[in-house]
Amino acid sequence: MKKDFQNAVVLLLLVMLLIGCRGLDQDLPTQTSVPTETSTSTAAPVPTDTPSPTPTSTPLPLNGQQTQYDIELNINYYNRFITARSRSLYTNKTQFPINEMIYIIYPTIFQSAIYVKSIELGNGTPVSNFRWDGHRMVIPLNTPLMPGEQIEFVHDFELYMPNRGGTFGQTDHQLNLSYWFPMIPPRTEEGWDYYEISLVNSQFIGENFFFENADFNVRLAFTDRAETMKVAAGVLPREEDDMLLYEMKLARTFTLSISDVYVIAERDVLGTKILSYTFPEEASAGEAAADLAVDTLKLFTEFYGPVMRDLVTIVEADFEHNMEFDGLIFISRGIFMFYNGTPETNLTIITPHEVSHQWFYSLVGNNQAVEPWLDESIATYSEALFYEHYYPELVSWWWANRVDGHQPSGYVDNTIYLEAGYEAYRNSVYLNGAHFMQDLRDTIGDEAYFNFIKAYALENRYQIASSEDFFSTLSRHTSEDLTILFEEYFANPPNSPET
Ligand SMILES: [Zn+2]
pLDDT digits (tens, 9 = 90+) for 194-220: 999 999 988 889 999 999 999 999 999
Mean pLDDT (the chain) is 90
Q: Are 28 and 255 in contact (CB under 8 A)?
A: yes
pTM: 0.88
Residues linked to residue 191 through DSSP beta bridges, in sequence order: 188
| Angstrom distance (rounded) from CA 93 to CA 300 | 32
- Ligand 1 centroid to Cα of residue 350, in Å, is 9
pLDDT at position 30 over 90: no
Q: Are 94 and 189 in contact (CB under 8 A)?
A: yes
Instruction: Report pLDDT digits (tens) over 446-493.
Output: 999 999 999 999 999 999 999 999 999 999 999 999 999 999 999 999
Q: Give the pLDDT of residue 26.
A: 37
CB atoms within 10 A of CB 62: 18
For residue 249, name the pLDDT band (cuts at 50, 70, 90): very high
Three-class SS of residue 83?
strand
- Ligand 1 centroid to Cα of residue 353, in Å, is 6
Q: Give the pLDDT of residue 55.
A: 54
Over range 242-246, report the average pLDDT: 96
Three-class SS of residue 46?
coil
Give the type of residue at 370: V
Instruction: Report pLDDT digits (tens) over 261-295.
Output: 999 999 999 999 999 999 999 999 999 999 999 99
Give the type of residue at 226: A
Q: Give the pLDDT of residue 248.
A: 98
- Ligand 1 centroid to Cα of residue 352, in Å, is 10
- Ligand 1 centroid to Cα of residue 148, in Å, is 35
| Angstrom distance (rounded) from CA 369 to CA 373 | 10
- Ligand 1 centroid to Cα of residue 26, in Å, is 6
- Ligand 1 centroid to Cα of residue 25, in Å, is 5
Over range 4-19, report the average pLDDT: 38
Residue of 387, 364, 385 whose CA lies nearest to 374: 364
Which DSSP symbol is given to 163?
B
| Angstrom distance (rounded) from CA 423 to CA 408 | 10
- Ligand 1 centroid to Cα of residue 17, in Å, is 14
CB atoms within 10 A of CB 277: 25
Q: Give the pLDDT of residue 450.
A: 98
| Angstrom distance (rounded) from CA 405 to CA 345 | 15
| Angstrom distance (rounded) from CA 109 to CA 119 | 19
pLDDT at position 186 over 70: yes
End-to-end CA distance of the chain: 66
Instruction: Report pLDDT digits (tens) over 52-68.
Output: 445 556 789 999 999 99
Return the minimum-mean-pLDDT range out of 62-76, 177-191, 200-214.
200-214
SS3 per-residue string spanning 28-61: CCCCCCCCCHHHHHHCCCCCCCCCCCCCCCCCCH
| Angstrom distance (rounded) from CA 327 to CA 398 | 26
Over range 402-410, report the average pLDDT: 96
Over range 130-142, report the average pLDDT: 96
Q: Are 315 and 324 in contact (CB under 8 A)?
A: no
- Rg, Å, the chain Cα set: 22
- Ligand 1 centroid to Cα of residue 492, in Å, is 22
